[in-house]
Amino acid sequence: MGGNYNDTSKFAKESVFGNRLSQVRDTKQRLSVQPPQSGAPWESILSSKPGTAAPVQSVVSKQSDDDIERLALYDSLTDLYNHRTFMRHLTYELKRGMRYKRPVAVCLISIDGLDTFCREYGDMTGDFIRKEVAREIRNVVRDVDIPARYSGKEFIVLFPETNSNGATSVADRLKNKVGSRVLNLGTQSVRVTISLGVASFPTHGREPAELLGRAFQALEIAIQRGGDRHVVM
């Protein structure tokens, strides 16, 4: 029942959860649109004879479908999952956790002083900072975790098969990774820090709203204590 963060359990590999993870990875690979390489079918399409434009239409149509699907799943700025996708995964994992008596944890993340950065350096700088923090989140979490942009100011990570201790370990590692970086903002360099709030099922809540409410409470405490820290409810 521990939910060791560093191990992928046999349960996770063989369960519905494991099958879903393979589908998520396949979806990620399928949605990754690569630029055409030299000698690729694009050359033959462009050099095709008049009256043979159907392949071009087919390629454009498929790319449009992929773009629409990506927009439905991901946040366009950070390439993390969007709020809607995250909530769907959270609902699923809590139902699965109740059925199989497995832990689930969430970690809510806020960039300290983001509004100040935006006022002093502009909204484009705010977006740059968001993207850099999102990059660190992707680098720290496992493939099976669900990192998302929760709102304009917050990120969130869903940890299947993970208890509070496991999620707290990741929160601490992420806090240190972000805090150790120096970002260059034109002629100025700044250090960015984050605050994090952790809550877990079943200890802190059994429904999505309840669990998220407790994570927000933990995040608020971290911010009130000066930021650059994580708090567990």
Tens of pLDDT, residues 62-116: 667 777 777 899 999 999 999 999 999 999 999 999 999 999 999 999 999 999 9
pLDDT score, position 60? 63
Farthest-apart Cα atoms in the chain, separation = 69
Contact present, 214 and 233 (Cβ < 8 Å):
yes
Tens of pLDDT, residues 151-179: 999 999 999 999 999 999 999 999 999 99
What is the set of domains in the chain, with CATH numbers? 77-232 (3.30.70.270)
* pLDDT surpassing 80 at residue 45: no
Q: Within the chain, where are the H helices?
A: 10-14, 16-31, 41-46, 54-73, 83-100, 114-121, 123-140, 164-179, 208-224
The β-bridge partners of 160 are 104
Contact present, 8 and 145 (Cβ < 8 Å):
no
If we measure between CA atoms, which residue out of 160, 232, 151 comes closest to residue 195?
232
| pLDDT classification of 220: cutoffs 50, 70, 90 | very high
Separation between Cα atoms, residue 164 and residue 12, nearest integer Å: 18
Phi, psi of 163 (to 5 degrees): -95, -175
Tens of pLDDT, residues 5-42: 554 443 344 444 444 444 444 544 444 444 444 444 43
